[in-house]
Amino acid sequence: MVESGLRPCYPIALGELNEGYRMASVRIFGYPGIVQIEKRLQKQFSSDSVQMRMEPYNWSVQLTLNGLTPVTMPAQANDTATVVFVEVDDNVAVRYELNPPGSSRSPSNVDPPSPKLQGEQPFQWFKGATMSFIDVTGL
């Protein structure tokens, strides 16, 4: 009999499925604004402009998600950021709520679910705002 190297098809124990699983991280970077790239060749035709982040960023926060319990970033003291970029670990999706001062909505997977985020996304920002996140999978 030739050994194929394939495992038999049987249910996988939960511990085996989650082996090596680590909780996802969300990183938030607060920038002072967005700037237009300088155009050096005055005779160069351009019908549009290119915008980019105004470096360096003012502050950053890293959050570790813990399943379905919302994780909220603290409000930043003396916050002068006008835009934030949120980065989520590869192959992870989160639900989020952006809360202006005085609002305290929590992200949810149930009807109606909160907006979903994967990868990187910019958001308009203002002093005193916070963001809350949950892991879409709820692990």
Q: State pTM to two decimals.
A: 0.75
Indicate the pLDDT class of residue 129, thresholds 50, 70 and 90.
Answer: very high
CA 69 and chain centroid, separation = 16
The predicted model gives 66-71 an average pLDDT of 86
pLDDT value at residue 73: 92
Whether the pLDDT of residue 18 is over 90: the answer is no
Indicate the pLDDT class of residue 63, thresholds 50, 70 and 90.
Answer: very high
The percent of residues in the chain predicted with pLDDT above 90, rounded, is 47
What DSSP assignment string belongs to 85-138? Answer: EEEE-TT--EEEEEE-TT------SSSSPPPEE-SEEEEE--TT-EEEEEETT-
How far is Cα 80 from Cα 66, in angstroms, rounded to an integer? 29
The predicted model gives 65-92 an average pLDDT of 91
Whether the pLDDT of residue 98 is over 90: the answer is yes
Ordered by start, the domain boundaries in the chain are: 56-139
pLDDT value at residue 15: 39
